Amino acid sequence: METIKQFSIFVENKQGKMAELTRLIADAGIDLRTLSLADTRDFGILRIIVNKPAETEALLRENGWTFKITSVIGVKVPDCPGGVATVLKALNEANVNVEYMYAFVNRTPGRADTVICVDDEEAAFSILRSKNIDLLTEAEAYDI
Amino acid sequence: MEKYWQADIETMSREDMKALQSERLVKQVRHVYDNVPYYRDLMDKKGVTPDDIQSVDDLHKLPFLSKADLREAYPTGMLAVPMKDCVRIHSTSGTTGRRVVAFYTQNDVDLWEDCCARAITAAGGTADDVCQVAYGYGLFTGGFGLNGGSHKVGCLTLPMSSGNTERQIQFMRDLGATILCCTPSYAAYIGETLHDMGLTPDDIQLKAGIFGAEPWTEEMRRSIEQSLGIKAYDIYGLTESSGPGVAFECCEQTGMHINEDHFIPEIIDPETGEVLPEGTVGELVFTSITKEAFPLLRYRTRDLCVLSRKKCSCGRTLIKMAKPKGRSDDMMIIRGVNVFPSQIETVLIEQGYSPNYLIEVDRKNNSDTLDISVEMNPEQFSDKVKDLQEKERSLAGAIKTMLGISPKVHLVAPKTITRSEGKAVRVIDKRKLHD
Ligand SMILES: [Zn+2]
């Protein structure tokens, strides 16, 4: 199983909180590979994939941010009509629920790499493998 | 073997106590009538003379005093001895209006310190203990009261005052403090800081805590006991009646023994002023029968609670008061429903949340709004929005079950609600701004 470490960080909807967080990460020389923000009226959850997970974990802990490290799956989705649909259909067939998903931005021509968080990783892996859908390795995701 | 500070008083028979109270009350009423014109006027208006008071059974004939009276009599209108006979003052914070200044003779200070010594002894304190007093020192009664009690017992006393929490913990460790005295919210904060410093209760010698000066719940007690590895005892008092030590908890932890030889308690109906039978919830009223400088007769505390004479396993015969349900001025009326912050605190701790919360009440479109911000701990955080929203919904549901009205619950990040080193600010009522 090849899962990717994603940081999910709790960010209160207060002026400047998001800027403070992204500045902290940038100043530590950590690159964001991709990010997505889920927000409500009160709070947001910033989900990021970074090039230096160990450093990021230490940094967030030292600075008192509330976060979780979640394992997600990186899928190499062909950048063509129906690419994402194929993946979702496969997961659906295996009764795997997608909690959320978002894309990496424009990395490899011809591919739209996507981050998917599912409720049952094992089932997801086996169905994707059986459908010959390629997965991102950790190294590829962090782009080391 | 249970230890008492003044065994003769603390285990006195009911008949003897009643006789002692009656003798002191008769003398006190005469003292007040002769020396406090403000109260003499109240008695005259009610048509009561000192001769009408022959025993505690006549107590109900006397007029009440309220905080409003004390404000009106500010600063010296209630003083019953010449100022030159006083050795100390203390004062309320004055956050809800004009301050109340209380005066003490040397004898008043001595008796007050005895009351605090009873509390420390009941919490297991002896001359072998190291007592860390982290109540504020100054006009506030907490610091000096427990400091004096600790001296009497013979504990090594650490007069820390409140604040500088890491230094508190350093002294606690370096000097092996065994008893901590402060507000319950500050005790919770000290516990939290201890854990943040990577320490556990095994790293400190603390065995007991004496916490008071603000209302707190049983749930909060358990949470403090766990985080500091101690037994937490409640202590009750108010500046108007000398300070902490009016009542204190024993090993049973099922309510506080009232020092009846100094303070006669009554429970009244807050609406009608009628005295209620034992076991009924109502407003607590105290009559100080030994204070010389600032003797308040039938002072209405605004604290709602219940009294009990059930036999206590500690052997003390002093009547017990339950933890006050709340002070009548802490009570909020939201959408017509009576709400106490302690009710909300109970639900939060029951549901596994921290006792750090902030209640905001406002009025929008002529309807009251109730917003509660609650800190989640890192384990409660989920990276799924719907999980967090579900937590907010279920907490709001539990609070609705308790109160009968629906709040909006907002989960916030750990340690974002301001910690208190003294009395915690739990409620912001913005409706007052509009009035
Ligand atoms: Zn007892």
Tens digit of each residue's pLDDT (9 = 90 or more) over B207-217: 999 999 888 88
The token pair that represents B107 in the structure block: 């004898």
Query: How large is the C-alpha radius of gyration of chain B?
Result: 22
Final residue of a structural domain among A35, A52, A71: A71
Return mean pLDDT, chain A: 89
Residues of A in contact with B385 (CB under 8 A): 38-40, 45
* pLDDT (0 to 100) of residue B255: 95
Please check whether residues A104 and A130 belong to one and the same domain. Answer: yes
> Which pLDDT belongs to residue A1?
63
Domain B1-328 sits in which CATH superfamily?
ANL, N-terminal domain (3.40.50.12780)
Q: B410: which residues sit within 8 A by CB, 6+ positions away?
A: A42, A43, B371, B372, B373, B374, B392
| CATH fold group of domain B332-434 | GMP Synthetase; Chain A, domain 3 (3.30.300)
Q: What is the pLDDT of residue A79?
A: 76
The Cα angle at residue B95 between residues B338 and B163, in degrees rounded to 5: 105
Q: State what percent of residues in chain B have pLDDT above 70.
A: 97
Closest CA to A69 of A129, A135, A5: A5
A120 and A84 within one domain: yes
B358-403 tens-digit pLDDT: 999 998 887 889 999 999 888 889 988 889 999 999 999 999 988 8
Interface mutation target, options B383, B409, B416, B417, chain A, most CBs of A under 10 Å: B383
B411, A43: Cβ pair inside 8 Å? yes
Asked if pLDDT for residue A15 goes beyond 70, the answer is yes
pLDDT confidence of residue A13? 83
> Are A9 and A42 members of one domain?
yes
Is A100 in CB contact (< 8 Å) with chain B? yes
A125 to chain B, any CB pair closer than 8 A? The answer is: no
CB atoms within 10 A of CB B400: 14
Q: How far is A42 from chain B (nearest CA, A)?
A: 7
Same domain, A18 and A61: yes
B214 secondary structure, DSSP code: S
pTM for the full predicted model: 0.80
Same domain, A31 and A62: yes
Q: How confident is the model at residue B2 (pLDDT cuts 50, 70, 90)?
A: confident
pLDDT reading at A135 higher than 80:
yes
Question: What pLDDT is stored for residue A106 in this prediction?
Answer: 62
Contact B188, B134 (CB under 8 A): no
**pLDDT at residue B107 above 80?**
yes
Residue A45 touches partner B, C-beta closer than 8 Å: yes
Please check whether residues A104 and A136 belong to one and the same domain: yes
Strand pairing report for A43-50 and A4-12: antiparallel
**Cα separation, B281 vs B167, whole angstroms:** 42
> What are the sequence ranges of the domains in chain B?
1-328, 332-434
The domain boundary residue, chosen from A55, A71, A87: A71
Minimum-distance CB partner of A99 among B381, B384, B389: B384
Contacts of A99 in chain B (CB under 8 A): 384
* Per-residue model confidence (pLDDT) at position B336: 80
Which pLDDT does position A3 carry in this prediction?
A: 85
Residue of B nearest to A62 (CA): B196
d(CA A41, nearest CA chain B) in Å: 10
Inter-chain residue contact B413 with A45, CB threshold 8 Å: no
**Least confident residue range of B91-100, B246-255, B272-281, B332-341:** B91-100
Does A92 share its domain with A103? yes
Cα distance between residue B39 and residue B30, in whole Å: 11
CB B250 within 8 A of CB B259: no
Q: pLDDT at residue B157 above 70?
A: yes
What order do you get walking across the sheet with B357-364 strand by strand? Answer: B408-412, B367-375, B357-364, B427-429
Residue B424 has pLDDT above 80, yes or no: no
- Of A50, A71, A92, the residue that ends a domain is A71
How many separate domains does chain A show? 2
Are residues A103 and A77 part of one domain?
yes
pLDDT confidence tier of residue B432, bands split at 50, 70 and 90 = low
Instruction: Say yes or no to pLDDT of B435 above 70.
Output: no
Task: Describe the crossing of helices A53-62 and A17-27 by its angle, rounded to 10 degrees.
Answer: 130
Query: Is B383 close to A40, i.e. CB distance below 8 A?
Result: no
Give dist(CA B79, CA B102) in Å, integer. 8
Q: Are residues A87 and A41 in the same domain?
A: no
Encode pLDDT of A72-109 as tens digits.
999 988 777 888 888 999 999 999 999 999 988 766 77
Contact between residue A34 and residue A103 where contact means Cβ atoms under 8 Å apart? yes
**CATH number of the domain that A25 lies in?**
3.30.2130.10
pLDDT attached to residue B417? 87
In the three-class reduction of DSSP (H, G, I as helix; E, B as strand; rest coil), residue B101 is classed as strand
Question: Over 70: is that where the pLDDT of B247 sits?
Answer: yes
Cα Dmax for chain A? 47
Please check whether residue B26 is in contact with residue B32, taking contact to mean a CB–CB distance below 8 angstroms: no
Which residues in B lie closer than 8 A to residue A40 (C-beta atoms)? 385, 388-389
DSSP code of residue B276: P
- The residue among A9, A20, A37, A42 with the most chain B CBs within 10 A of its CB, best to mutate, is A42
pLDDT beyond 90 at B343:
no
Q: What is the pLDDT of residue B120?
A: 98
**Pair B189, B419: CB distance under 8 Å:** yes
Range in A11-15, A53-57, A124-128 the model is least confident about: A11-15
In this model, does residue B434 exceed pLDDT 60?
A: no
Count of CB atoms situated within 10 Å of the CB of B101 = 20
- Is the domain of A65 the same as that of A104? no
Domain with A32, as residue range(s), is: 4-71
Q: Which two tokens stand for residue B282?
A: 């109502």
**Cross-chain residue pair B413–A10, CB shorter than 8 Å:** yes
| DSSP notation for B9-48 | HHT--HHHHHHHHHHHHHHHHHHHHHH-HHHHHHHHHHT-
**A99 and A53 in one domain?**
no
| CA distance linking residue A122 with residue A7, whole number of Å | 21
pLDDT at A82: 83
Give yes or no for residue B342 having a pLDDT over 90: no
Mean pLDDT, chain B, whole residue set: 92
Say whether both A102 and A49 belong to one domain: no
Q: Is A29 exposed, middle or buried (0-12, 13-18, 19+ CB in 10 A)?
A: exposed
Is B332-434 in the same CATH topology as B1-328?
Answer: no
